[in-house]
Amino acid sequence: MSLNSQLSQKTSIFSLKLWVVIGIALGIFIVLILLLLSLWLTARRKSKRAVEKLPITQIPKVSKEIKEVRVESRDYTHRDGVLLTVNDKSSDKESDKVMMHLGMGKFDNADINSRSGSFNHTEKGAGSQSGDEGGSATVYKPSSSHPLNVASPLTGLPEFSHLGWGHWFTLRDLELATGRFSKDNVLGEGGYGVVYRGQLINGTPVAVKKILNNLGQAEKEFRVEVEAIGHVRHKNLVRLLGYCVEGTHRMLVYEYVNNGNLEQWLHGAMRQQGFLTWEARMKVILGTAKALAYLHEAIEPKVVHRDIKSSNILIDEEFNAKVSDFGLAKLLGAGKSHITTRVMGTFGYVAPEYANTGLLNEKSDIYSFGVVLLEAITGRDPVDYGRPANEVNLVDWLKMMVGSRRSEEVVDPNMETRPSTRALKRALLVALRCVDPESDKRPKMTQVVRMLEAEEFPLRELSCVCDNA
């Protein structure tokens, strides 16, 4: 029997010929395949915006250096070998009294004018404002580390994007926020990557840190910052709002702080707007001290920042400090006095014992803080090769000046109104204690906060420290 005869035979299915049945079966099969393919594509498209409660353990593995910060298991929340409970033990009281010098010069825009009380304005080509042209005012600003009725920067974003403590952003979200990572939106860049200014769909301004994927460095820095500050909240820490993990992209999204950083105000572009007053400098320093006290003593495991410097202290419109950039941070668990790690940080700010041995603990941050305080007092860089040989290193020069009883000469000459002798000596005492070459003699950051806030301070103790400097 020929093939045509076989295909032409009637079947038991409605007496249809065999070739008709085969054709119908093939058609149904093709339709089913197309339907399944359509369903798969639809599900894949939806999955990009579906809720995925990914634990920290699913963030890609990092280099062995991160494993050095593992701590012993205790009754804390456990996330991939790192204890990440947050126990806030600090009482963060802001000093209410803010002394400000009000210059009479005209500013280019209202935003600058609204902040004029915290710095001495100098008109181009005119020199400093004279005492007759300006005035002084005392302003009282009650504040709290936990402000009430402040809208969350994540309000209005799609609910399905929330991911535990923060927000899970897609690559598309951040491309839209930054104008496809436009060069016009670049805020800064370095070996770690590039920071862009952005605006979320709810109008919130943000800073997007796009980490360069250099030999796994992106994975390491991404994980360190998420583990170090993902869950912590403090008014003097830059808030990490969320992050993006998509393909090879690793990005972190922070609150946007739009008033420059301490380095820019002391040495850089922000000086064009004026010079910080003593009161504004001490407000920034006190806020930084409170942030470090929180990281070192109020949470478990404690966080060692490892790169405290003036350029990492952002300043908001009210001249509150915001400590930023935790890409080098380390976690130090209970029972650990130190960890051994590769020496990282910025020349001039690194503690001598850490530079020499690689042994790291919170005392290293305290040394760096002391250098920043000296920087704020003097207006000088930590290391300046443009100065005479005995003035190149800020710490050594200041110790020499104080030891020669010339402490009044170290104040930044750009400050129009000098601090009182008592205020200057208090600040110098705190700084000298923080940069003590013997780490065990450095105070804790909670002690630093108390010393900076103290109205009365024993001048005899100040004299003893100055004699031993």
Give the active site residues: 307
Distances (CA, A) of 189 to 166, 185, 210, 244, 253: 24, 11, 9, 19, 15
Return the half-sphere exposure (C-beta side, CA atoms, 13 A cut-off) of residue 306. Answer: 28
Tally of CB atoms within 10 A around 243: 24
Which residues, other chains included, contact 245 with Cβ-Cβ below 8 Å and sequence gap of 6+?
59, 60, 222
CB distance 320 to 283 below 8 Å = yes
Structure tokens, 457: 């301070």
Q: Cβ distance 284 to 437 under 8 Å?
A: no
**Quick count: other Cβ atoms within 10 Å of Cβ 312?**
24
The amino acid that residue 314 corresponds to is L
Specify the 3-state DSSP secondary structure of 138.
Answer: strand
- CA dihedral over 86, 93, 144, 103, signed as positive or negative: negative
Amino acid at the residue 344? M
Tell me whether residue 425 is annotated as binding.
no
**Joined tokens for residue 163:** 């991911």
Could you tell me which residues are beta bridge partners of residue 316? none
Q: How many CB atoms lie within 10 A of CB 452?
A: 18
Measured distance CA(206)–CA(255) in Å, rounded: 5
Question: Strands 166-168, 240-246: parallel, antiparallel or unpaired by DSSP?
Answer: parallel
Q: How big is the chain, counted in residues?
A: 469
Q: Which two tokens stand for residue 93?
A: 């009281």
DSSP state of 384: -
| Cα separation, 114 vs 152, whole angstroms | 24
Q: In 3-state terms, what secondary structure has residue 166?
A: strand
String of b and e for 7-29 (b: at least 16 CB within 10 Å)?
Answer: eeeeeeeeeeeeeebeeeeeeee
- Residues annotated within a binding site for ATP: 210
